[in-house]
Amino acid sequence: MRALNYNAAIDRIVQFIREKTSSGVVIGISGGVDSATTAYLAVKALGKDKVLGLIMPYYENQDVEDAKLVAKSLGIEYKIINIRSIIDAFRDSLNIDLDKKSLGNVMARTRMIILYAHANSLGRIVLGTSNKSEFLTGYFTKWGDGASDYAPLINLYKTEVWEIAKRIGVPERIVKKKPSAGLWEGQTDEEELGISYKLLDEILWRLVDLKMSKEEIANELGIPVERVEHVEKLVKGSEHKRRLPQGPSFEDLISGP
């Protein structure tokens, strides 16, 4: 994996947040390491009075307690907004059968709406929590948890986020817990992705950053080339999530000034 200067990276993220806003930020705090790390860095950059944490569960589980731990340890203002009644109203209004994944997408987009409603009312910005591993593999909901004004962790791989979390004081139980998007009971990131973050990041760094061939990566890591092909498929299949909507070009149809 790449040798990142973590202390310098922390300083750069803090400076980035300071440069992008002075009015304050709103962050969705899930109880996971990404949102916790983002919240800790935001407080480091702006102070606790300019950070609002929103905890938006559908299920009442340990994630809520972990999210509260983050907010309380930082001393920031936070709100718990249970989205179950909102989601149920959506389902009733749509009058269609939503499978597990579709329902999860509705949850993620509902949280985005709530985040922006608060940010707009307070004159603040939404700080996203996505990391590079999720971004490259498309492991996020388009216009849901992938939507934000700025995303301080977007160029850090998941394994790098863990390292930064340890250095800035994120509670150990959050750093060590199994990553989950929390969209349904028992969900875990690595099970859905079909690969551990440790191996995923090693492959992504070589595939995307170093532009190595699949065969070179497989040989260097001592893994079957099929593992690399699996990651390549995740990256290529989610390309549409990483760009704004596109349409046909009309440049060749324009004649004269």
- Write down all domains in the chain, each with its CATH number in brackets: 6-192 (3.40.50.620)
Say if residue 33 carries a ligand binding annotation: yes
pLDDT of residue 36: 98
Q: Concatenate the DSSP letters of all residues of the chain into one string.
A: -----HHHHHHHHHHHHHHH-SS-EEEE--SSHHHHHHHHHHHHHH-GGGEEEEE--SS-SHHHHHHHHHHHHHT-EEEE---HHHHHHHHHHHTS---HHHHHHHHHHHHHHHHHHHHHHHT-EEBP---HHHHHHT-S-TTTTT--SB-TTTTS-HHHHHHHHHHHT--HHHHHSPP---SSTT--HHHHHTS-HHHHHHHHIIIIIS---HHHHHHHHT--HHHHHHHHHHHHHTGGGGS-------GGG----
Say if residue 32 carries a ligand binding annotation: yes
Looking at every residue in the chain, the average pLDDT score rounds to 94
pLDDT of residue 65: 96
Say if residue 148 carries a ligand binding annotation: no
Say if residue 72 carries a ligand binding annotation: no
Say if residue 73 carries a ligand binding annotation: no
Say if residue 132 carries a ligand binding annotation: no
Say if residue 180 carries a ligand binding annotation: yes
pLDDT of residue 191: 84
Write the pLDDT tens digit of every residue in 27-63: 999 999 999 999 999 999 999 999 999 999 998 889 9
pLDDT of residue 95: 84
The whole-model pTM stands at 0.93
pLDDT of residue 189: 79
**What average pLDDT does this structure show over 57-80?**
95
Say if residue 240 carries a ligand binding annotation: yes
Say if residue 109 carries a ligand binding annotation: yes
**2-11, 17-26, 35-44, 186-195: segment of lowest average pLDDT:** 186-195
Say if residue 255 carries a ligand binding annotation: no
